[in-house]
Amino acid sequence: MNIRLVLAMTGLILMLMGLSMLFPAMLCFLSEDSDWPVFGILGMSGMIAGIMLYLREGIREEDVRPKEAYLMVAAAWVTASVYGAAPYLATGVMDGFADAFFESVSGFTTTGATVLSDIEALSQGILLWRAMTHWLGGLGIISLFVALMSFLGQGGQQVFLRETTGPLKEKLAPKVKETAWILWRIYIIMTVAEVLLLHLFGMDWFDAVCHAFSTVATGGFSTKNASVGYYANPGVHWVVIAFMFLGGVNFTLFFHAFQKRSLTVFWKNGEFRLYTVILGAAALIIGVYLWAAGLEFPAALREAAFHAVSVMTTTGFVTQDFNLWAPAVQMILLMMMLVGGSSGSTAGGMKVGRVQLLFTQTRLEMRQSLHTRAVLSAKVDQKPVSHETMLRVLTFIALYGLTVALGTLIMSLFDMDLVSAVTAVVTCVANAGPGLNRVGPTQNFSFVPDLGKYILSFIMLLGRLELYTILVLFTPDFWSKK
């Protein structure tokens, strides 16, 4: 094992995070907030430490083996989470490291679960930092390096593929650097567009930037206690709905649509169709429910669309307390949370693509039982899917279920009722944010004991890196000398 590579990667992450902390420092300085030296010192020291570590170890263009790639990705995320927790402690917003670490992981994994109850009391620097952790983690922390620097060479591809989501990965350009850069450009364009639109509908610049970061990364941190519900303007809601939806779409589709100058690219993609159909059906059901519960028609539709999209893309913004809704509707939300957004998007969950493959395989099994000697092959968008891929996807889905089950068992030991325990784990593994009952939309995770917070943080990382990348580190094979 080449530990040098892992240390160099840690140095790089420290550099990036340190640089990022200078933005809140500047904001605080300009608004004469007393937090500015905290961010300034933390940022500078992180950058210096990072540069020193990186220069000492150095990354040349060299072979990165799968083992090293896994460890590099894991190290990057853990480093970012630990270092990203520092501002919460240093500004005195939180007392314990468990709280700060939970908040930081929740940010980078774009979960959006929080331990804070009064968000509006926080300084602008902290609010911006929270939103920035979302934005940096949305497409993947390492992917930005891959996009900007070519020093990683073939190794860049190794780490990049382990950080992007979904069962079938596609390279948009021959070089992974270009592929990552294309994705980041799409991401940046979307963010800028949302900032402008939100400002147009009456948000001030600061809130617009924070909410845009949070939306396109499908994170969920808001600058308001009532989340997006704070804003009365329906226009704001619709803009957020639209960009949450876009954040849950496979980013490669935007690229293809742009290249071919055609929107049919989207509808020809089976995953996109299923994603849209599930969202449409859920929004309709919830809409009827809210309308029957007494909401006016346009508002009912808007609220329904907002929560369907927010939950399925695992953003976690709310405008209503769905803790008070009927159990059946809550169950629909929970199922959508587990399914999650599309492969290659910023959303979490199992990914629609995997569920689509599960359906495909189920249909094949049915057909096979009717025609015992038939030779069948699974296809996605008319392209055959290999047995190996199918097996990996089905294992993933089973493992996902197992993670939820075991996580719930552990969480129920911490003085939580079953619904709270289940939804806390589901919302963390799917990187969504709010759950039900004690972890519902108007509640927070502060009551969970420290050990519970560490476990939930671990589950968030598991979910963000799609299980295998983390779990493989816990296998004896990984550490054996072979």
Partner 1 sequence: MQAIVIGAGKMGYSLARLLAKEGYGVTMIERDAERGSVVQDNLDISVLTGNGASIAVLQGAGVDQTDLLIAVTEIDEVNMIACLLAKQVGVGKTVARVRNPEYLEEGESGRELISGIDLIINPELVTAREIAELVGAPEALDVAYYAKGHIQLLELRVNPGHPLIGRDIQDLIYEKPFLIVAIVRQEHVVIPRGTDRILEGDRIFLLAQTEFMPLVEEHLGFKREKAEKVMILGGELSTLYLAKVLEKQKHMSVTIIEKDHEDCVRLSEELDSSLVIMGDATDLDLLRKEGVAETDILVCMTDNDKVNMLACLIAKSLGVKHTISQVRQSDYITLMTTVGIDVGVSPRILTANAILKFIKGSANLLSMTLLSHGGAEMLEFHVAKKSPLVFKKLKDMNFPKGALIGSIMRGEQVLIAKGDEVLMPEDHITVFTVPERIDAVLKLFNGAV
Question: What residues line the site for partner 1 (CB under 8 A)?
Answer: 367, 371, 373-377, 379, 382, 384
Q: Taking the complex as a whole, how short is the minimal distance between the CB of residue 371 and partner 1, in angstroms? A: 6
Q: Taking the complex as a whole, how short is the minimal distance between the CB of residue 390 and partner 1, in angstroms? A: 13
Residue whose CB is less far from partner 1, 34 or 377: 377
Neighbours of 102 (CB within 10 A): 30
> The tokens 């809210």 sit on which residue?
290
What's the first-to-final CA gap in the chain, in angstroms?
10
Q: Taking the complex as a whole, how short is the minimal distance between the CB of residue 271 and partner 1, in angstroms? A: 18
Find, among 14, 338, 402, 378, the residue nearest to 168 by Cα.
378
DSSP 32: T
Find, among 108, 103, 97, the residue nearest to 132 by Cα.
108
Find, among 68, 65, 206, 211, the residue nearest to 135 by Cα.
211
Q: Taking the complex as a whole, how short is the minimal distance between the CB of residue 383 and partner 1, in angstroms? A: 9
Tokens read off for 113: 């679960």
Residue whose CB is less far from partner 1, 60 or 367: 367
Residue whose CB is less far from partner 1, 269 or 457: 269
Q: Taking the complex as a whole, how short is the minimal distance between the CB of residue 377 and partner 1, in angstroms? A: 4
Parallel, antiparallel or unpaired: strands 383-384 and 379-380: antiparallel
Residue whose CB is less far from partner 1, 382 or 475: 382
Residue whose CB is less far from partner 1, 371 or 482: 371
Residue whose CB is less far from partner 1, 189 or 376: 376
Find, among 195, 41, 27, the residue nearest to 127 by Cα.
27
Q: Taking the complex as a whole, how short is the minimal distance between the CB of residue 175 and partner 1, in angstroms? A: 23
Q: Residue 84 and residue 21: Cα distance in Å, rounded?
A: 9
Residue whose CB is less far from partner 1, 373 or 482: 373
380: helix, coil or strand?
A: strand
Tokens read off for 59: 């990354």
Tokens read off for 346: 């910023």
Q: Taking the complex as a whole, how short is the minimal distance between the CB of residue 351 and partner 1, in angstroms? A: 24
What is the maximum alpha-carbon separation in the chain? 76
